[in-house]
């Protein structure tokens, strides 16, 4: 019965990027995961009736790049070659393992021919884009070496900053870690009217963390602890590079910030204590600029920041760093590891610099911050189809399994609430599921057998439907395994259209650590990824328009995603 997965796994280990890249032994957590089927089969031909405005070939392959002094680092890297369209579509990031920055206009018809030279299956997903299900990069569309996956879609999104990255089940985390990721910017006429800083004054900042061995090779998660918490590297990379100051002029800049890390959460703040001026989030511009003392940025989230160096004297140095915070890691881990996260020498929640700006040029032509940025409708509860029965997304954390809605990815078929009618507006509620587990006297035994949790879906319908205003029992009650707390923060990402967060409620007993992050939790604008803190209950409204088919939702802590903390909606 388990012959098939085992064969897949063995082949994966033999040929995986990790193997090729010379890790002495396969990470132990690999054996506990569902490996992607080594057979691809996701290849498809172009549609002869589709006339693209823009077309490029995207290739993923192994390369070596210079990141540290000394030997080059072996990575996996996206490269691209433009076939049709203006050359602004692709901007290579020299010396970086990141894929080229892609720049598109709303309304463009796009064709991408994706192939790879990796020995394990992969597939590319357009994180943040509203595209048909068949174009979304579903794990089942993974292709093997030699196959080509053709994507064809129209750019429907408003202006925004998105991500392209691999999405094969069980290997997303390792492939992203090895380097496969890139940024994708969409422009639209509403944004163009604002005259926001552009060209040299628009700077993408992709934040990632990595660990290197003595030969400058990437080191990845090696134990259960790192798998459970998510992998944190001990060096911060910005756009695939380490350190170094960015030289700026004394004027306003637009920083397009992406958290491209596997699991690291940042609390972004300026070294001089000034506010972070946010003009946009995952799904594009806000209505008006918003000022925050700091902003939390979890894996998969993006931020559009107005950075004004106007009036700064030559030589001024300003640093964007991560400020100290608590509460995103399980207390169990904190007490066991003395506050250290996994093996990282740079614990999540500690203070460290990320990127430094040095004013080296005087300018007097700075644009001013617009008071109004964008107009869009605010979704209201009286517009949703299911006001009294929110679709639950129950976060289930245990040392043995990280789950959403009681089932690991790929098991049990769609639960009733996972089937959503097309062109509907839905209320969703994300919450931690400890209370339900407690009430049902769930034993350690049950935790070891994910299939033994069949009752959970049923239970959740009750919680989602009746208990939604209840307030935070779960947060305070997250006890398991002899009194240890097991509750951590999860960035929950929903494929398909962007949503709006309508409320956040924190449970009793979590207020103290919550206080260190709450003023920077992003709830404004259109989002596709939302950071849910321990004990927190987040409600959101999401449209499921235009496209039928299967759309994933998952934790964007990529180790969690690969562990099965991923489910699907069937839009019908
Ligand atoms: Cu950025 Cu389904 O992922
Ligand atoms: Cu996505
Ligand atoms: Cu998670």
Residues 204 and 182 both lie in one domain = no
Residue 345 lies in a domain: yes
Give residue 387 CA to ligand 2 midpoint distance, Å. 25
Beta carbon of 298 within 6 Å of any ligand 1 atom: no
Of 133, 156, 189, the one marking the end of a domain is: 189
Atom of ligand 1 nearest to the CA of 561: 2
User: Does the Cβ of 495 fall within 6 Å of ligand 1?
Assistant: yes
* CB of 125 shorter than 6 A to ligand 1: yes
Q: Do 183 and 204 reside in the same domain of the chain?
A: no
Max Cα–Cα distance, the chain, nearest Å: 71
Q: Can you give the pLDDT at residue 331?
A: 62
Are 332 and 398 contained in the same domain? Answer: no
Contact between residue 112 and residue 154 where contact means Cβ atoms under 8 Å apart: no
165 CA from centroid of ligand 3 (Å): 18
Is residue 157 domain-shared with residue 260, that is, in the same domain? Answer: no
For 313, the token pair is 């004297």
428 pocket-lining for ligand 1 (C-beta < 6 Å): no
* Per-position b or e across 312-342, b if 16+ CB within 10 A of its CB: beeeeebbbbbbebebbbbbbbbeebeebbb
Closest atom of ligand 1 to CA, residue 552: 2
* 223 and 147 assigned to the same domain: no
Q: Looking at the structure, tell me whether residues 54 and 115 fall in a common domain.
A: yes
Q: Is 167 in the pocket of ligand 1 (CB under 6 A)?
A: yes
Is 373 within a domain? no
* CA 90 – ligand 3 centroid, Å: 32
Choose one of 189, 215, 250: the last residue of a domain.
189
Whether ligand 1 lies within 6 angstroms of the CB of 138 is answered as no
Q: What is the pLDDT of residue 313?
A: 94
Shared domain for 397 and 319, answered yes or no, is no
With respect to residue 5, please indicate whether it lies within any of the assigned structural domains.
no
pLDDT at 143: 97
Same domain, 67 and 154: yes
pLDDT at 537 (0 to 100): 97
**CB of 169 shorter than 6 A to ligand 1:** no
Measured between alpha carbons, how far is 35 from 83 in angstroms, rounded to an integer?
34
Cα of 125 to ligand 1 centre, how many Å? 7
Each residue's pLDDT, cut to its tens digit, for the chain (572 residues) gives 333 333 333 333 333 333 333 333 333 333 334 444 445 568 999 999 999 999 999 999 999 999 999 999 999 999 999 999 999 999 999 889 999 999 999 999 999 999 999 999 999 999 999 999 999 999 999 999 989 999 999 999 999 999 999 999 999 999 999 999 999 999 999 999 999 999 999 999 999 999 999 999 999 977 888 888 999 999 999 999 998 789 999 999 999 999 999 999 999 999 999 999 999 999 999 999 999 999 999 999 999 999 999 989 999 999 999 999 998 887 655 544 434 444 578 999 999 999 999 999 999 889 999 999 999 999 999 999 999 999 999 999 887 788 999 999 999 999 999 999 999 999 999 999 875 444 333 333 333 333 333 333 333 333 333 333 333 333 333 344 333 346 899 999 999 999 999 999 998 888 889 999 999 999 999 999 999 999 999 999 999 999 999 999 999 999 999 999 999 999 99
E strands in 293-401? 295-297, 302-308, 317-322, 352-361, 391-397
- Asked, for residue 24, whether it belongs to a domain, the answer is no
- Domain extent, residue 117, equals 36-189
Together in a domain, 349 and 223: yes
CA distance 200 to 198: 6
CA 300 – ligand 1 centroid, Å: 7
Q: For position 40, what pLDDT does the model report?
A: 58
In a domain, 17, yes or no: no
Task: Say what the pLDDT of residue 486 is.
Answer: 64
Number of neighbouring beta carbons within 10 Å of residue 125:
22
Task: Quote the ligand 3 centre to 240 CA distance (angstroms).
Answer: 24
State whether 254 and 310 are in the same domain.
yes
Spatial contact of 516 and 535, defined as CB atoms under 8 Å apart:
no
Secondary structure (3-state) at 135: helix
Report the number of distinct structural domains present in the chain: 3
Please say whether the beta carbons of 211 and 200 come within 8 A: no
Residue 430 lies in a domain: yes
165 lines ligand 1 (CB under 6 A): yes
Q: Which of 189, 212, 240 is the last residue of a domain?
A: 189
- pTM here? 0.86
> Looking at the structure, do residues 204 and 178 belong to the same domain, yes or no?
no
In this structure, which residue's CA is closest to atom 1 in ligand 1?
Answer: 127
Taking the CA of 261 as reference, the closest ligand is 1
- Co-location of 508 and 422 in the same domain: yes
Is the CB of residue 118 less than 8 Å from the CB of residue 17? yes
3-state SS, residue 8? helix
Domain-located, residue 7: no
Closest alpha carbon to 209 in 270, 260, 271: 260
Residue 25 belongs to some domain of the structure: no
Distance CA 97, CA 75 (A): 7
- Give backbone dihedrals phi and psi of 22, rounded to 5 degrees, phi first: 85, 20
Between the CA of 93 and the centroid of ligand 1 the distance, in Å, is: 22
554 lines ligand 1 (CB under 6 A): yes
Pocket flag, ligand 1, residue 302 (CB < 6 Å) = no
CATH number at 114 reads: 2.60.40.420
């Amino acid at each position: 019965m388990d012959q098939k997965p085992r064969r897949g796994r063995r082949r994966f280990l033999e040929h995986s990027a990790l193997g090729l890249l010379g890790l002495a032994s396969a990470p132990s957590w690999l054996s506990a995961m569902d490996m992607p089927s080594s057979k691809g089969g996701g290849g498809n031909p172009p549609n002869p009736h589709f006339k693209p405005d823009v077309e490029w070939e995207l290739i993923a392959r192994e390369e070596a790049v210079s990141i540290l002094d000394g030997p080059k680092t072996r990575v996996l890297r996206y490269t691209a070659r433009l076939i049709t369209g203006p050359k602004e579509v692709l901007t290579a990031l020299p010396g970086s393992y990141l894929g080229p920055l892609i720049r598109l206009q709303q309304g463009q018809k796009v064709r991408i021919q994706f192939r790879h030279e990796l020995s394990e299956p992969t597939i590319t997903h357009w994180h943040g884009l509203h595209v048909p299900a068949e174009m979304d990069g579903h794990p089942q569309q993974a292709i093997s070496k030699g196959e080509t996956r053709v994507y064809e879609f129209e750019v429907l999104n408003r202006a925004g900053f998105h991500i392209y990255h691999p999405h094969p089940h069980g290997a997303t985390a390792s492939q992203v870690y090895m380097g496969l990721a890139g940024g994708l910017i969409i422009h639209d006429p509403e944004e163009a009217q604002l005259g926001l800083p552009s060209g040299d004054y628009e700077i993408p900042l992709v934040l990632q963390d990595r660990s290197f061995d003595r030969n400058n090779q990437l080191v990845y998660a090696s134990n259960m602890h790192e798998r459970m918490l998510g992998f944190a590297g001990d060096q911060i990379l910005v756009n695939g590079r380490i350190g170094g100051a960015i030289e700026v002029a004394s004027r306003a800049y637009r920083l397009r910030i992406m958290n491209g890390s596997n699991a690291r959460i940042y609390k972004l703040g300026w070294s001089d204590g000034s506010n972070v001026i946010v003009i946009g989030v995952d799904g594009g511009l806000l209505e008006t600029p918003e000022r925050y003392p700091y902003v939390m940025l979890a894996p998969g989230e993006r931020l559009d920041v107005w950075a004004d160096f106007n009036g700064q004297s030559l030589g001024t140095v300003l640093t964007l760093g991560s400020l100290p915070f608590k509460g995103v890691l399980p207390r169990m881990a904190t007490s066991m590891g003395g506050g250290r996260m996994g093996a990282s020498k740079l614990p999540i929640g500690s203070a460290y610099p990320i990127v430094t700006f040095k004013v080296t040029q005087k300018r007097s032509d700075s644009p001013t911050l617009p008071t109004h940025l964008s107009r869009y409708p605010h979704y209201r509860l009286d517009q949703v189809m299911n006001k009294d029965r929110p679709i639950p997304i129950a976060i289930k954390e245990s040392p043995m399994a990280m789950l959403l809605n009681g089932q690991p990815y790929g098991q049990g078929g769609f639960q009733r609430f996972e089937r959503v009618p097309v062109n509907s507006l839905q209320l969703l509620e994300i919450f931690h599921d400890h209370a339900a587990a407690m009430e049902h006297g769930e034993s350690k035994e049950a935790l070891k057998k994910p299939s033994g949790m069949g009752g959970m879906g049923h239970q959740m319908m009750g919680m989602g439907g009746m208990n939604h205003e209840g307030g935070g029992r779960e947060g305070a009650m997250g006890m398991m395994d002899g009194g240890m707390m097991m509750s951590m923060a999860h960035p929950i990402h929903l494929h398909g259209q962007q949503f709006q967060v309508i409320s956040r409620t924190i449970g009793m007993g979590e207020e103290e650590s919550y206080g260190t992050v709450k003023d920077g939790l992003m709830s404004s604008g259109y989002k596709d990824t939302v950071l849910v803190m321990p004990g927190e209950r987040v409600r959101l409204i999401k449209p499921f328009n235009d496209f039928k088919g299967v759309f994933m939702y998952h934790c964007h802590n990529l180790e969690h995603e690969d562990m099965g903390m991923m489910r699907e909606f069937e839009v019908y």
